[in-house]
Amino acid sequence: MWECGSPPSGKSEARAIGVAGRERSALFYMAQGRLWQLQGRFDREEFGGILYAAMKAVQLVESIPRYLLTKAIGTFYRPAFWGPLAMLCYREVPEPSRPGPRWVKVRTRYGGICGSDLNTILLRDSPVLSAFVSFPFVPGHENVGVIVEAGSEVDGFAVGDRVVVEPLLPCATRGIAEPCEFCQRHEFSLCQNFTSGDLAPGFGIGTCRDTGGSWGPYFVAHQSQLLAVPDSVSDENALMAEPFAVALQAVLGNLPAEDETVLVLGAGVIGLCTVAGLRAVGSGARVVVIAKYPFQGEMARRLGADMVIDQRATDYYQAVAEATGGALYRPVLGKRVLIGGADRVYECVGSDGSIDDSLRLAGNGGTVVLVGLAAIPKRVDWTPIWMKELTVKGHFWCSTQVFRGQRVRTMRLTLDWMAEGRLDLAPLVTHRFRPEEYRRALAVTTAKGKHRVLKSAFIFE
């Protein structure tokens, strides 16, 4: 494996993307030729019928020593997670090539920094997820870009088209002739083959070494993942199509009744998109939002929240009790529990405290929807689940959902609403960085309260 920050030497092993989408390795010995570095970039060189090129990108490498060291230092010094000893680095990497004739290469315009990306970089993810990634990979799944190469069997798209890419890599992208039962039902987020077929393991772009991700100048995508961006939709709005579709997936799968009181826990991008999603589908439910920062609360109101509770300036348990007509009870030890709370809770943070709050603040017989990326919660009391007979549901990424009697792609629906002027999420894109500024980008983004960050992104043009 290449050291972070160091390009491969003439005698080192360089990993690259090969034909049919499988990883290939070529030993670049002097006798076979070498990969020359010219004017700060790698020139193209052919080895064994495979054409290699390189680009500068942010990349996450696999290294147990780096993981252990960064995990230890990062507990008290957060910049260690993107410092010189981290698993993350900015360096020259092989440019991904199209695995087959139905694939395109996309030149990135914007690559969003998602909370899931931050969880990966801050080493908060459950080890379970390691079975569904392939190292080294270029992070980034929120995207908007332009097609620069198209395979001979690509239909409906051409070089020069501006697109967003649905990140998931289910059966169709992996060349699996007999799709799994979930892909046959177009429930792609439940695909059973994220580690099989023609591609290396990976839930989606930004976790698969074969495809690249939107934190690099180029990535590749299968035709089935492509969505054309209407001319009237800005790059900033297009970038927000994926995070909004994630929230919309959860909303459509758990649509509240008109007389319900809904609690949205967390007013980061996913929480804000959940509020916007509820209003976009026409829900008249009462929407209460718990926001950590005032600037998040302001945006929640703009997007349709009926009530915003400042988590740090008020007793938010008492505020939710008053908003729902419930009663708070204090046990001998531990946090209070609410009886008669919210009918439906969308938990959009994924932290131990937020998950615990979601169970305590949900009303009797209510539903808790886990939209935030919970990993290994350590301080969650599960008692309210059985005591209040709660339904707890998980949602993963974006795919298709039933809307007004038809199964639709949630990202397509999002872009259509944006084109119609019904949905404008461009104001959520508050911070932009060049990819070589990745350390500053991550420092700013992880201090969102200080810098008033909603959505930050890497910009390539």
| pLDDT of the chain, 461 residues: tens digit per residue | 344 644 443 333 333 333 333 333 322 222 222 332 322 333 343 434 444 689 999 999 999 999 999 999 999 999 999 999 999 999 999 999 999 999 999 999 999 999 999 999 999 999 899 999 999 999 999 999 999 999 999 999 999 999 999 999 999 999 999 999 999 999 999 999 999 999 999 999 999 999 999 999 999 999 999 999 999 999 999 999 999 999 999 999 999 999 999 999 999 999 999 999 999 999 999 999 999 999 999 999 999 999 999 999 999 999 999 999 999 999 999 999 999 999 999 999 999 999 999 999 999 999 999 999 888 888 899 999 999 999 999 999 999 999 999 999 999 999 999 999 999 999 999 999 999 999 999 999 999 999 999 999 999 98
Q: What are the residues whose beta carbons fall under 8 Å from the beta carbon of 430, sequence distance 6 or more?
A: 452, 453, 454, 455, 456
Q: What is the pLDDT of residue 332?
A: 95
> 10 Å Cβ neighbour count for 450?
10
Q: What is the pLDDT of residue 438?
A: 98
Please state, in angstroms and as integers, the Cα–Cα distance from residue 92 to each residue in 5, 7, 137, 146, following that order.
8, 6, 12, 22
Q: What is the pLDDT of residue 4?
A: 63
Longest CA–CA span in the chain (Å) reads: 78
Q: What is the pLDDT of residue 14?
A: 37
The pair of three-digit structure tokens given for residue 344, joined into one six-digit string: 């439906």
Q: What is the pLDDT of residue 11?
A: 31
Q: What is the pLDDT of residue 353?
A: 96
Residue 233 DSSP class? S
Q: What are the residues whose beta carbons fall under 8 Å from the beta carbon of 164, sequence distance 6 or more?
A: 143, 144, 145, 227, 229, 238, 239, 241, 242, 411, 415
Closest by Cα among 377, 392, 385, 378 to 360:
385
According to DSSP, the residues that pair with 291 across neighbouring strands are 310
| Amino acid identity for residue 447 in this structure | A
pTM, full prediction: 0.90
Q: Are strands 362-370 and 23-27 parallel, antiparallel or unpaired?
A: unpaired
Residue 78 DSSP class? G
| Spatial distance between the Cα atoms of 156 and 159, rounded to a whole number of angstroms | 11
Domains of the chain: 13-240+435-459 (3.90.180.10), 255-394 (3.40.50.720)
Q: What is the pLDDT of residue 414?
A: 98
> 10 Å Cβ neighbour count for 330?
10
| Spatial distance between the Cα atoms of 255 and 130, rounded to a whole number of angstroms | 32
The pair of three-digit structure tokens given for residue 213, joined into one six-digit string: 């991700």
The pair of three-digit structure tokens given for residue 336, joined into one six-digit string: 């209070």
Burial class (CB in 10 A: 0-12, 13-18, 19+), 277: buried
According to DSSP, the residues that pair with 369 across neighbouring strands are 346, 393
Instruction: Give me the residue label for tokens 């300036």.
Output: 313
